[in-house]
Amino acid sequence: MQRTVVVAGGGISGLTACYHLAKDASVSKVILLEASNRLGGWMRTTRTDDGAIFEHGPRGIRPAGAVGKNTLCMVSGLGLEKKILPVLRSQPAAKNRYLYVNKALHKLPSSIGGVLRTIPPFTKPLFTCGLRDLVASRGTREDESIHEFVTRRFGKELADIVIDSLCRGVFAGDCRTLSLRSCFPFLYEAERRKRSVILGLATGGDRSPQPDSALIRKATEEKWSQWSLQGGLQTLSEALEDFIKEKGVEIHKDSPVTSLERTPDNRWKIMLPGGSIIADHLFGAVPAKVLSQLLPPSAGPMVSNLSQMSSATVAVVNLEYDGEALPVSGFGHLIPSFEDRALLGIVYDSLAFPQHNRSGSSSTRITVMIGGAWFESTFGDSVSSEKLLHLATEAAAVQLGLRGTPSRAIINLNKTCIPQYKVGHHKLTESIASFIQQHNLPLSLIGASYEGVSVNDCIYNARKSVQRLFGH
């Protein structure tokens, strides 16, 4: 029987853990400790007086698979169904994705025809990469970089152009150092199972138990590609905050955990700037590196594993221009590292979610993502907002023809915001899990540092962790 459960870290992972803990009758008290003055972590939205919405963190959530459906269940539980803004698979913002290569935008093929022909920037039809996968032998290594895997199975051109760009878009990371096994476990499994990735994916499918609800059926029938919410994704973290407050979770903002001590009766003494709290169980929902600095010396080997988990810094520059000015219609474009190391890509927000555009007059909203795994090698320790704004507006002008002065610009430097699962990441997580088990630590680790960086992954893993604690 758990008595007092403390959740350290009030991002989407910590909030989700509180949501499930608050519903469990066997917990008598739940306390959420958040270092900053707000909840939500990287889920952060600016709402302007004229109705425009600017996302500084996540902007779209996928409904597909067990993890996507699990999030939709929580959305229903929070009564947010009417606030959902779906993007349908038939819309350009779902169908059209671009790469910026050799100083030009290239649409990625979205039909069979596009795969059969040679289209720039590629030198041969993309289906030939698939043929290569069908005959390539199964890999033998425990883990390898995403670039090595894709080169081995589909060829170097696909790895250099498409996969390099994709990893910059999803992880703000370098596919030459990121782990295939930890970043794309379904590709790793597909090859293990069927030797060919294509055959493995075609015959595998998502075998995890799939939740069902009216909202999930609606998303499937209407063929949603992704969704956001009225008021932006911060609406989700705000609804979670309201829900857990209502359920009696004690929320402490401006309360950074400063260190953790174990008591002789196997509980935690959680040190805060103004005192301490005793907890029967702790959910660590802070980044792995932060946790490594809080744990007691007795957790030595685990501290060493946690401290090896690094994250990349991303500058997020939101720009708004007068009028509808984009030259193409789609989700956005990515830029491979050989084209420009620092510029990761540009998201065309006003096309995916026009409901978030300002009222009164037409506008174009875009977000320029800068830095990631290349942040330090490009800028050193820090960079001025003026320089970031200059880079972002230059990119908008050169790559999209948006030459005027933006009507709005919001610059955020998100320091160490996206965990980088490097080759061998699975060994770190396995060894941490076995340390917790061997030492019977009353500790659950959740958050983007371990098993998936997407909002869906964070929500799914937080729920699974609460269920595991209660033996469900």
Residues at the interface with ligand FAD (CB under 6 A): 8-14, 33-36, 41-43, 57-61, 256-257, 285-287, 290, 314, 316, 414, 417-418, 447-448, 453-456, 458
Residue 43 or 295 with smaller CB distance to ligand FAD = 43
Is the preceding peptide bond at 121 cis, omega within 30 degrees of 0?
yes
Minimum gap (Å) between residue 246 Cβ and ligand FAD: 21
Minimum gap (Å) between residue 418 Cβ and ligand FAD: 5
Which whole-number Å values give the CA distances from 53 to 42, 320, 357, 402, in the listed order?
15, 10, 7, 20
Which whole-number Å values give the CA distances from 463 to 24, 70, 381, in the listed order?
12, 9, 36
Q: Residues, the chain, total?
A: 472
Token pair 């059969």: residue: 116
Minimum gap (Å) between residue 32 Cβ and ligand FAD: 9
Residue 9 or 231 with smaller CB distance to ligand FAD = 9
CA 14 to chain centre: 15
Contacts of 364 (CB under 8 A, 6+ apart): 320, 321, 322, 323, 324, 325, 326, 348, 350, 402
DSSP state of 187: H
- Please give the structure tokens belonging to residue 255: 């309360």
Token pair 């170097």: residue: 156
Give the whole-angstrom CA distance, residue 370 versus residue 40.
22
Residue 132 or 289 with smaller CB distance to ligand FAD = 289
Residue 60 or 63 with smaller CB distance to ligand FAD = 60
Minimum gap (Å) between residue 104 Cβ and ligand FAD: 26
Q: Where are the beta strands (DSSP E) in 52-177?
A: 53-55, 84-88, 97-101, 104-107
CA 351 to chain centre: 21
Minimum gap (Å) between residue 410 Cβ and ligand FAD: 13
- Cα dihedral 264, 270, 272, 275, rounded to 10, equals -40
β-pairing, 104-107 vs 268-272, is unpaired
Residue 259 or 405 with smaller CB distance to ligand FAD = 259
Residue 196 or 337 with smaller CB distance to ligand FAD = 337
- Please give the structure tokens belonging to residue 378: 């490009």
Residue 100 or 227 with smaller CB distance to ligand FAD = 227
CB count within 10 Å of CB 59 equals 24
Phi-psi map region of 248: left, alpha, beta (phi>0 left; psi -120 to 50 alpha):
left
Minimum gap (Å) between residue 133 Cβ and ligand FAD: 27
Of 340, 292, 320, 344, nearest in space to 405 by CA: 320
Residue pair 358/378 in contact by the 8 Å Cβ criterion: no
Give the whole-angstrom CA distance, residue 355 versus residue 375.
32
Residue 190 or 448 with smaller CB distance to ligand FAD = 448
Minimum gap (Å) between residue 118 Cβ and ligand FAD: 32
Give the whole-angstrom CA distance, residue 462 versus residue 441.
18
Residue 343 or 448 with smaller CB distance to ligand FAD = 448
Contacts of 93 (CB under 8 A, 6+ apart): 87, 225, 329, 330, 331, 348, 351, 352
Minimum gap (Å) between residue 21 Cβ and ligand FAD: 15
Minimum gap (Å) between residue 291 Cβ and ligand FAD: 8
Residue 151 or 420 with smaller CB distance to ligand FAD = 420
Minimum gap (Å) between residue 201 Cβ and ligand FAD: 21
Minimum gap (Å) between residue 93 Cβ and ligand FAD: 13
Residue 62 or 106 with smaller CB distance to ligand FAD = 62
